[in-house]
Amino acid sequence: MSVADGGAGECVFCQIASGAEPASIVRADDEVLAFLTHQPVNAGHVLVVPRTHVVGLADLPDATGAAMWKLAQEIATTLRHDPAWSDGVNLHLSDGAAAGQHVFHVHLHVIPRFRGDGLRITDERHHPPTRHELDEAATKLRGALGR
């Protein structure tokens, strides 16, 4: 389901958080919940979401973001401790349509990985940026931070 307008009333993650839609819950508390995605890369692929409707990172309260990260880290650590679950783990968050966000309620993927599982998260540029270009971008970003 895609919620382009960010409306909480139509948001499938809000419906899961309220219990109106079914989900395979892994962990839940008053602020965040984690559940298995219905489109997993591998078994154990979890989504960690805030209970309140937040479209993207710019609107995510710091404490809620910290709670999401803490839960994702705990799940990832559990997945890494048992080779039956994974050889590795990716944490992935898409913020905005251009980044591939399809459900407009911020969510953090915890993706168990195995060698050869077919998922590719790479940039195969033929011409990587020069050190000068990287330094220029870093200077520009430093200036923009905290505005």
* Of 45, 53, 105, 107, catalytic: 107
Q: Which helix (H) or strand (E) holds 68?
A: helix 62-81
**How many Å separate Cα 136 from the centre of its chain?**
29
Model confidence over 30-42: pLDDT tens digits? 999 999 999 999 9
Contact 36, 3 (CB under 8 A): no
Contact 64, 83 (CB under 8 A): no
Model confidence over 49-88: pLDDT tens digits? 999 999 999 999 999 999 999 999 999 999 999 999 999 9
Question: Could you tell me what percent of the chain has a pLDDT over 70?
Answer: 91
Is 45 marked active-site? Answer: no
Other beta carbons less than 10 A from residue 58's beta carbon: 9
Whether residue 145 has pLDDT greater than 60: yes
